[in-house]
């Protein structure tokens, strides 16, 4: 028997409740690799899956946790053998399939990535889906011509999980980084990650009548969406790109096509869930080489399985700073 965070749903009221329970290996879903999980983390999507479900969880009882890192315990697939260190993000694990908030997980081999050299399992979960998404966002901006020296790169939701890692990666690569935050007390934290300036959320979170404003940003990693993304599109430099990675500010986009037509602005969609294997490996290798580990360490908030119900609520309210690392064996 081993510990897992189990979410159950009351059929009558439709309400969910989460708590740590003991389960057996036979309870785990089908898969060809069994992993002894060491660490997991908390993303916005995890908050939904621990709590209300957000339309993501299909079946209860459920073990959430969209990310995990650990050691292969048993494998029916030639790609992995017992003792291999592995990372999993995405593939709707923790939503449709049981996830990483347990001491063991059983998954499909093709969902795993070997832990890259230079990262241990704890650091990999400090990165997690949030950091993996941030790296994909930076890679997309670079693929579309972004280079240091072109002017400041804007990161929205900069004190959150994706934003923290994006800020540290961009600063480490030599970019000037402007971090948007609604929490003035996080300004010192953002500067410590390498941000050269902070932008108060209220300066940029409402749309204006003019579709184009002064050309300000050479690139943007946007974790917010909604009105803020619409506003930012009108502030991008000619030919610049925005990587869209989140919708904390809403799924609507009250924008015009003017920035695309008159300034050649690109809006790049970043999906971390169904990324092909080769691109995953490339992104994880870039993380190991381009993310300053001291900056990553400064983002970490440690947690245990029993902390998760409260943390799930906090992340949905925007009250989690940096990256939570869950030690599932603590």
CATH number at residue 141: 3.40.50.720
Would residue 190 count as lying in a domain?
A: yes
Would residue 287 count as lying in a domain?
A: no
Residues 311 and 212 in one domain: no
Would residue 280 count as lying in a domain?
A: no
Q: Is the pLDDT of residue 11 over 90?
A: no
Residues 156 and 250 in one domain: yes
Please give the DSSP secondary-structure letter assigned to residue 116: P
Q: State residue 54's pLDDT score.
A: 82
Residues 161 and 196 in one domain: yes
Question: Of 132, 134, 143, nearest to 88 (Cα)?
Answer: 132
Residues 137 and 263 in one domain: yes
Domain encompassing residue 50? 2-115+298-327
Determine if the peptide bond prior to 61 is cis (ω within 30°). Answer: yes
Residues 86 and 57 in one domain: yes
Report the percentage of the chain scoring pLDDT > 70: 100
- Gap between the Cα atoms of 35 and 28, Å rounded: 11
Would residue 314 count as lying in a domain?
A: yes
Question: Of 33, 108, 41, nearest to 71 (Cα)?
Answer: 33
Q: How many domains is the chain built from? A: 2
Would residue 281 count as lying in a domain?
A: no
Q: Is the pLDDT of residue 55 over 90?
A: no
Would residue 292 count as lying in a domain?
A: no
Q: State residue 232's pLDDT score.
A: 98
Would residue 254 count as lying in a domain?
A: yes
Q: What are phi and psi of 16, to 5 degrees?
A: -105, 155
Confidence class of residue 76 from pLDDT cuts 50, 70 and 90?
Answer: very high
Please state the rounded mean pLDDT for residues 114-128. 96
Report pTM.
0.93
Would residue 285 count as lying in a domain?
A: no
């Amino acid at each position: 028997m081993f510990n897992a965070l189990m979410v159950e749903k009351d059929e009558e009221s439709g309400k969910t409740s989460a708590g740590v329970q003991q389960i057996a290996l036979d309870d785990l879903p089908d898969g060809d690799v069994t992993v002894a999980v060491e660490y997991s983390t908390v993303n916005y999507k995890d908050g939904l899956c621990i709590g209300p479900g957000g339309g993501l969880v299909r079946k209860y009882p459920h073990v959430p946790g969209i990310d995990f890192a650990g050691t292969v315990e048993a494998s029916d697939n030639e790609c992995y053998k017992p003792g291999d260190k592995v990372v999993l993000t995405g593939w709707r694990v923790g939503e449709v399939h049981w996830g990483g908030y347990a001491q063991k997980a059983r998954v499909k081999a093709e969902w795993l990535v070997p832990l890259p050299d230079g990262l241990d399992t704890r650091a990999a979960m400090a990165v997690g889906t949030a950091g993996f998404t941030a790296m994909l966002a930076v890679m997309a901006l670079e693929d579309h011509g972004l280079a240091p020296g072109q002017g400041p790169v804007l990161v929205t939701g900069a004190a959150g999980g994706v934003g923290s890692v994006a800020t540290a990666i961009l600063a480490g690569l030599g970019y000037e980084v402007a971090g948007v935050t609604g929490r003035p007390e996080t300004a010192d934290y953002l500067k410590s990650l390498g941000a050269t300036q902070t932008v108060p959320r209220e300066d940029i979170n409402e749309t204006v009548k003019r579709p184009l404003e002064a050309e300000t940003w050479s690139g943007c990693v946007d974790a917010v969406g909604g009105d803020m993304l619409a506003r930012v599109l009108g502030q991008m430099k000619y030919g610049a790109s925005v990587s869209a990675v989140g919708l904390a500010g809403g799924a609507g986009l009250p924008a015009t096509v003017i920035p695309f037509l008159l300034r050649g602005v690109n809006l790049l969609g970043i999906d971390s869930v169904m990324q092909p294997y080769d691109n995953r490996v490339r992104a994880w290798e870039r993380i190991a080489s381009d993310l300053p580990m001291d900056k990553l360490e400064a983002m970490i908030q440690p947690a245990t399985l029993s902390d998760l119900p409260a943390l799930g609520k906090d992340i949905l309210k925007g009250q989690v700073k940096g990256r939570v690392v869950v030690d599932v064996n603590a």
